[in-house]
Structures are given as C-alpha cells and as structure tokens.
Amino acid sequence: MIMFLEKTKSDDEICEIYKKIRIWLQESGYTTEQSERVSEAPVIIWQLQNELRSGMEKLKKTLKQYGILRNDNELHDYIVHKFIEINKEYPLIDEL
C-alpha cells in the first residue's frame, strides 16, 4: 500500500487539504486543544473539512478495489504520519 501511495501520490490531495486547514488554524491563533473543538470558521474551512473526509473515503475505496488495503488502520496510520509532518511545518501556538 505504501509503495502504491508513494508512486501514485494518491494521498497528495488529502495532504494539501489538511495543510490548508492547518495553516488557517495557525494563522487564527489556535492551540492544539482548541483546534479539536472549532465551532466557528469560514465556510471554506468547513468545505475543506468535508473534502478531507470524502477524499479519505475515496482513497480507502480505491485501495480496497486494488486489493492492497489490508485494514483501515494501515491507511489511517500512514495518513496520520503525513499529517504529523505537516503539523511540524505549521505548528500551532502551543507547539512552538
């Protein structure tokens, strides 16, 4: 699965969406804890959040169709690792 994702870059769009959300959180002065409970945000942020969810579902479905996803946790762990790298690039105020 990892080799497939690295070669096809199928997860790039998901990472770009996450990066946009993370930048907004950073620029808006959120802490890590606050970022887990956002109640007010511009419409574009909610749209990006929906795109992120649907992108993950689409990627999971594609990987299952190719028969290379053994379990959902494998994909989740891979994506979380990518998101952690993005978090390091765009730290929130309590992560500096």
Q: Is the dihedral of CA 75, 78, 80, 83 positive or negative?
A: negative
Tokens 């998101």 belong to: 83
Report how far residue 75's alpha carbon sits from residue 83's, in angstroms, rounded to the nearest whole number.
12
| Full pLDDT tens readout for the chain, 96 residues | 999 999 999 999 999 999 999 999 999 999 999 999 999 999 999 999 999 999 999 999 999 999 999 898 999 999 999 999 999 999 999 998
Residue 63 is predicted with a pLDDT of 97
Helix (H, G, I), strand (E, B) or coil at 27: helix
Residue 14 is predicted with a pLDDT of 98
Q: What residue type is assigned to position 58 of the chain?
A: K
